[in-house]
Amino acid sequence: MSERSRGRTWIHAVAFVLLLASAYAQYRGNLHSSLRLVWTSIGLSGLAIVVAGANLLLRPRRSDAPAE
């Protein structure tokens, strides 16, 4: 499978960084009993899911036709 058929790797990297930020916000929110940080973590996790999902849905489709 080629790099092009899997989508843009950098967009997946952005989603991964969002998940890391979400984990940090969750840690800080639990450490300091801050509901605001916990909700921020939930929002960042949701945004990471949307970014990764959009990358998979918007990727260019492979052509199954033989090249001429």
What pLDDT score does 61 carry? 63
pLDDT at 5 over 60: no
- The two tokens of residue 27 are 């840690």
- How far CA 15 is from CA of 11, 12, 20, 65, in Å, comes to 6, 5, 9, 32
The pLDDT of residue 64: 56
Q: Is the dihedral of CA 32, 33, 39, 45 positive or negative?
A: positive
Q: State pTM to two decimals.
A: 0.72
Mean pLDDT (whole number) for 14-38: 94
- Distance from C-alpha of 42 to C-alpha of 68, rounded to nearest angstrom: 49
Q: With bands split at pLDDT 50, 70 and 90, how would you rate the model's confidence at 60?
A: low
Task: Give the residue among 42, 19, 18 at the shortest CA–CA distance from 29.
Answer: 42
